[in-house]
Amino acid sequence: MSSASLTQPLSQLWVGRFSNSLIPTHTARLVMISSRCRGSRFAVGLDTDVLDTDIVDPDEHIDKAPRPRHHVSMGARQAPAWNLTVLGCWQLRRNEQAVEVGARQKRLISALALLGARSRHVVAGLLWPDSSEVQAAGNLRASLFRIAHDLPALVRPCDPLQLEPTVIVDLHAVRHLIDEITDAAARPAAHLAVPGDAAEVLRAADLLPGWYEDWVLREQDRLQQQRIEALEALARHHLRHSDLGPAIGAARAATAIDPLRESAQLILVRGHLAEDNHASALRAYREFRRSLGSELGVEPSPRFAELLGNDLHASDRSASDLMPLPR
């Protein structure tokens, strides 16, 4: 297993590794002027469903005859290469250069990256839930127009709406990694080939931190659950193959995401015991017990006592021996 530098952004760590399997290798298609569009050069990539009225170039007079339409040769210019980061932070890069994006356009792009293809009606209602149907549709049309003008070949303005398949999204690479791990976990005899820093990548893959809209919160919760389950599966896989260091690392990553998750804490204790590191196992148990008691007011399950056995009883006796006698 090869380890990449953990100082690299998630998009660089993972998108490069999985881009060949996720992103088609054929040349990205240019957005062509559709025969259904209405005249102006700003209508490139938009169809007549996008805008209620004709788009007029502000540099031209309204009564001026429309310019003739010319198809762009594929060899004349190449569509920009788009990379979207939604893990850890939000960033859009065109040909490796960061691009400034308006708030409405950012939300629309993010929704398509997280949810995939969706009808215009659904997207409008999702992004502008407090607006009327007409207002939401108008906001969506305005956002699509701005994206087509400023960020060409990023969004397909069809119905359903979707990102162009050439757009590289770091979330998609992490989802691919999660699928690889969970699929292998369902077949214990299968060989699981993942890079050495997979646990750290999953631990750090926070989706759009600081975004609190309902549709984002749902996706954050879903991805967090998937990350933890994948880390637990990865830890169990390493334990089965006696790869104790990676097993403990994956279990620690899972407990870092959710410190109160008992299944992850149990795997961590098992890993320490497999190393014959009983002191670390007891320390992990005590920290979990303390956190569980302070947060929820409950005790860990008896499974910890079954795992730790005599170590836990001996530790309890030692602790009681150190307690001061009552006067």
CATH number at residue 283: 1.25.40.10
Task: Give the mean pLDDT of 31-57.
Answer: 34
Whether 125 and 225 map to the same domain: the answer is no
pLDDT value at residue 316: 55
pLDDT over 90, % of the chain: 65
Residue 185 to residues 103, 181, 324, Cα–Cα distance (Å): 40, 6, 49
Whether 67 and 103 map to the same domain: the answer is yes
Q: What is the pLDDT of residues 145-156, one digit of tens each?
A: 999 999 999 999
Q: What is the pLDDT of residues 159-175, one digit of tens each?
A: 999 999 999 999 999 99
Give domain status of residue 132, yes or no: yes
Whether 273 and 300 map to the same domain: the answer is yes
Whether 98 and 54 map to the same domain: the answer is yes
Q: Check pLDDT > 90 for residue 185.
A: no
Residue 153 to residues 23, 75, 78, Cα–Cα distance (Å): 15, 16, 10
Give domain status of residue 125, yes or no: yes
pLDDT value at residue 186: 80
Whether 191 and 221 map to the same domain: the answer is yes
Residue finishing a domain among 191, 211, 241: 241
Whether 29 and 154 map to the same domain: the answer is yes
Q: Count up the domains in the chain and report the number.
A: 3
Do residues 254 and 231 lie in contact, with contact meaning Cβ atoms separated by under 8 Å? Answer: yes
Give domain status of residue 248, yes or no: no
Domain range holding 292? Answer: 259-327
Give domain status of residue 253, yes or no: no
Q: Check pLDDT > 60 for residue 248.
A: yes
Whether 36 and 137 map to the same domain: the answer is yes
Give domain status of residue 251, yes or no: no
Q: Check pLDDT > 80 for residue 7.
A: no
Give domain status of residue 30, yes or no: yes
Whether 14 and 85 map to the same domain: the answer is no
pLDDT value at residue 77: 60
Whether 129 and 194 map to the same domain: the answer is no
Q: What is the pLDDT of residues 193-204, one digit of tens each?
A: 888 899 999 999
Whether 147 and 204 map to the same domain: the answer is no
Which region among 30-34, 56-60, 136-140, 148-152 has the lowest average model confidence (pLDDT)? 30-34
Q: Check pLDDT > 70 for residue 71.
A: no
Whether 128 and 40 map to the same domain: the answer is yes
pLDDT value at residue 290: 97
For residue 77, give both structure tokens.
């210019």
Q: What is the pLDDT of residues 276-318, one digit of tens each?
A: 999 999 999 999 999 999 999 999 999 999 999 877 766 555 4
Q: What is the pLDDT of residues 85-112, one digit of tens each?
A: 999 999 999 999 999 999 999 999 999 9
Q: Check pLDDT > 70 for residue 64.
A: no
pLDDT value at residue 246: 95
Give domain status of residue 44, yes or no: yes
Whether 229 and 285 map to the same domain: the answer is no
pLDDT value at residue 315: 58
Residue 202 to residues 2, 10, 16, 67, Cα–Cα distance (Å): 16, 9, 16, 51
